[in-house]
Chain A
Amino acid sequence: MKLNPSLLVVAAVLTTLQAVSAADIVGKITLKGTPPAEKELPLDANCGKLHPASKPTTRFYITDGKGGLADTFIYLKDGLTGKTIEVPAEAKVLDQKGCEYSPYVSGVQTKQKLAVKNSDELLHNVHATPAVAGNKESNQAQLPKSKDLVYSYDNQEILLRFKCDVHPWMFAYVGVVDHPYYAVSAKDGTFKIANVPAGEYTLEAFHRKGGKVTQKVTVGAGNATSDFSFTVPAAP
């Protein structure tokens, strides 16, 4: 088989262009100061049985002990104007397991489906409490092994809270953004926002207790790096 040299050239150019026009933003979230001690969750008898070894605690500041801070939501705050963004077909999943939400902090795109499942042998109520107008508050029962409850939101909201009123210590926080360029920091504080189109952006890191920090970032041919630092706020 004889290959057309001009086609090969076009393919090579397209591949190069793609590599140049999209890259990752990577970085690390660090915490300065000593965070307050986490509190043991006041589990009831039924939920307590699911944690025979040790009781779970609050998750205000999850760190790796070396300064890395988890559960920070990092997203492109602006700079995407004019770019066409499709809504992913696959749903994001939020699980209720051991009378806790998992993941604690996550993200979803506007209009993308968010499936909330119940992996417990217990009844929960899924109470979404958005604060942004246009995102609808809802409260639905979810029996054990019942089908997933599916949500989607039209408006950006950082962060939208889910709670269970049957077990009032159960919370999850979902960042709802207009695009797929977001990440949640891992326990060591690292994060990666993949395949960001080339351009100049404002990147925001939001931590529920630490507050928010913004930075300018330029995405070009290679990966861009943005590190953020939070400080434990002083008591009022």
Chain B
Amino acid sequence: MKSESQTNWAARFAAFLVVCVLVLIGIGGLVTSKGAGMAVPDWPTTYGYNMFLFPISQWHGGIFYEHSHRLVASYVGFMTLILTVWLWFSESRRWVKWMGLAALVMVAIQGLLGGLRVTLFKDQLGIIHAALAQVFLCWIACLAFVGSRWWKCVQPSTSEMVVSRSIKPSFVVASVLVFAQLFLGACLRHQHAGLAVPDFPLAYGKIWPPTDSTFIETINQSRTDVRDFKPITAGHIHLHMAHRIGAILVLGAILISSLKARQGFAVGHGLRSLANFWIITVCVQVCLGMVTIWFNKPADIATLHVLVGAICLVTGVLGSLALARLSFPATDLIRSAGGSTSNPQIATV
């Protein structure tokens, strides 16, 4: 029982870590939105200082965002270390222990990627860094979920199992589409090509914009942003248009999945609520995307677009996981995971 209580607290700790990771993603988003990714040219030091001893008086301009990102990232790394050790010694399910260890490896790789992006001047590393952040967020959220009382205790009814099995594929597909869309978004953001097409719903006044060299040259000559980003290319325009098409696909996939869940589960059921939340989230996300274009990509709106995208993804992943959990009787799942069915909490539910 002591171990069970400890893992419940570990799950709560993981849930808190999810919030911390969201904050970290938000600050990371601001770093890119503000174009401050290279404001601290050295790593792991900060202007030659130990990162934790860099004087606050020097935190101005782009340094504020980049240095804050590094400090919060260090905090998240430390919290992940605590979670990993905690799970290793308190968790009875071996696969959860290994999930904890994988989280630690992931956060270490993530930190390394962030540092190398600065020292090697590689936008590509920034894109991978952004994508891995989303994976890490989902991973920690899953750790919190599989440690929850609901996960351990729920006894799905036969009808729940049938509905869950039928809805699960559409949730998984929608979640994969959301991740692909976030990856496209990361590619756009890290090449500062979010406004490669500056109008919406049309694209340079057309359904599909031209991308010949004369047109591209005109675009670049006409850009008068205070920050001089690298020139727009035809590839940036195609990427931007792919992101728009991706938005339609994601919106459709989430609406279909969520409406199925609303039909399949009764009022008050957790998955019905999650489906409602997912619909709201994706609608907000689409609106943020449009506002980002219409208002010339304000840093706070563009960052909010990243953050709501992350919430959209984690909602889909947790929904998929919940449906997977409801697709099998509790005893089957525990046996397949190598656990014991003699757990009194499960037996009493």
A residues neighboring B (CB under 8 Å):
36, 39, 41-42, 44-47, 58, 60, 122-123, 125, 127, 129, 137, 139-141, 143, 161, 163, 165-169, 171, 209-211, 233-236
Contact = CB atoms under 8 A, between A and B. Distances in A.
A58 B47 contact: no
Contact of A166 (B48, B60, B121, B218): B60
6 contacts: A46-B60, A139-B38, A163-B228, A165-B66, A167-B62, A168-B226
Please classify the interface of chain A as helix (H, G, I), strand (E, B), loop, or mixed, using the class held by over half of its residues.
loop
Interface secondary structure of B, over-half rule: loop
B227 A233 contact: no
A209 B217 CA distance: 10
A168 B253 CA distance: 39
A27 to B, nearest CB: 22
B121 to A, nearest CB: 5
Nearest to B120: A137
B37 interface: yes
Interface residues on B, range: 20 to 34
Given A125-B41, A210-B221, A236-B204, 12 more contacts: A39-B226, A44-B60, A45-B60, A58-B224, A127-B41, A129-B230, A141-B41, A165-B36, A168-B61, A211-B217, A233-B222, A234-B222
Contact of A41 (B40, B66, B226): B226
Contact of A46 (B48, B61, B218, B230): B61
A171 B269 CA distance: 56
B42 interface: yes
B35 interface: yes
Q: Specify which of A36, A47, A60, A141 lies most central, judged by the most chain B CB atoms within 10 Å of its CB.
A: A141
Contact of A211 (B38, B41, B221, B226): B221
Q: Which 6 A-B pairs have the closest CB atoms?
A: A139-B41, A166-B61, A165-B39, A165-B38, A233-B221, A168-B35
